[in-house]
């Protein structure tokens, strides 16, 4: 785990231990305080099986570099053909141009680097830009090394079988949730289609 701010990590360990659920004390954890970009540049010779990226949203000041194709290239150089990358791709606030731009960046930059990628959406009831705002959607983008991504398909039965065999204690995720997350609500699909059309227009101008 690489985090640039050790003060935030220490505060989290002290005041929000339920979120980490003991992971900071797991002997398998190698905790590094540092810059993620510099870390990726220095570790390309030792690829990871899984990369999980959890960054500020791209519309926050200075964070857009973490959603650019150049950064995804650094991630790709740290992956082998069977690796998986998962990244936060932002809240999908259907009324926000900032959120629309973030979705557009992910949907256009990631395919420039990876042959196999996708996005999963789910309701985000715990975060609102304003207390009076409606609950909206958030998303996770994922990309694969060439071997694992080729022809990859899952149904909810296979997901439930794998979870029963490999994971215990989940309180949210299931095969049904996975299957539902693959389908987009109509309004969100219109937003993403409009974003893609804007991106295509920019490329042709």
Catalytic residues: 54
Q: Helix, strand or coil for residue 140?
A: strand
Q: Nearest to residue 39, comparing CAs of 7, 12, 71, 9?
A: 71
For 60, which DSSP code? S
Q: Which neighbouring-strand residues pair with 118?
A: 142
Q: Do the Cβ atoms of 157 and 123 come closer than 8 Å?
A: no
Tokens for 161, please give them. Answer: 């079988």
Only one residue has tokens 């220095």, namely 42
Distance CA 35, CA 156 (A): 37
Cβ atoms within 10 Å, residue 53: 17
Q: Do the Cβ atoms of 117 and 111 come closer than 8 Å?
A: yes
Q: What is the DSSP string of 75-121?
A: HHTTEEEEEEEEEEEEEE-TT-HHHHHHHHHHHHHGGGT-SEEEEEE
């Amino acid at each position: 785990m690489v985090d640039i701010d050790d003060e935030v990590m220490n505060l989290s360990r002290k005041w929000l231990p339920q979120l980490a659920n003991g992971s900071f004390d797991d002997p398998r954890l190698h905790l590094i305080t540092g810059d993620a970009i510099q870390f990726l540049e220095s570790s390309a010779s030792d690829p990871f099986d899984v990369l999980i990226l959890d960054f500020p949203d791209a519309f926050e000041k200075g964070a857009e570099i973490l959603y650019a194709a150049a950064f995804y290239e650094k991630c790709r150089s740290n992956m082998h053909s069977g690796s998986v990358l998962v990244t936060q791709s932002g809240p999908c606030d259907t009324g926000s141009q900032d959120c629309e731009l973030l979705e557009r960046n992910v949907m256009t930059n990631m395919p420039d680097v990876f042959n196999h990628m996708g996005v999963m959406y789910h309701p985000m009831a715990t975060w609102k830009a304003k207390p009076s705002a409606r609950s909206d959607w958030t998303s996770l983008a994922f990309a694969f090394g060439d071997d694992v991504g080729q022809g990859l398909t899952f149904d909810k039965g296979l997901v439930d079988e794998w979870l029963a065999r490999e994971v215990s204690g989940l309180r949210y995720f299931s095969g049904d949730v996975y299957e539902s997350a693959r389908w987009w609500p109509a309004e969100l699909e219109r937003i993403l289609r409009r974003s893609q059309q804007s991106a295509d227009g920019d490329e042709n101008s």
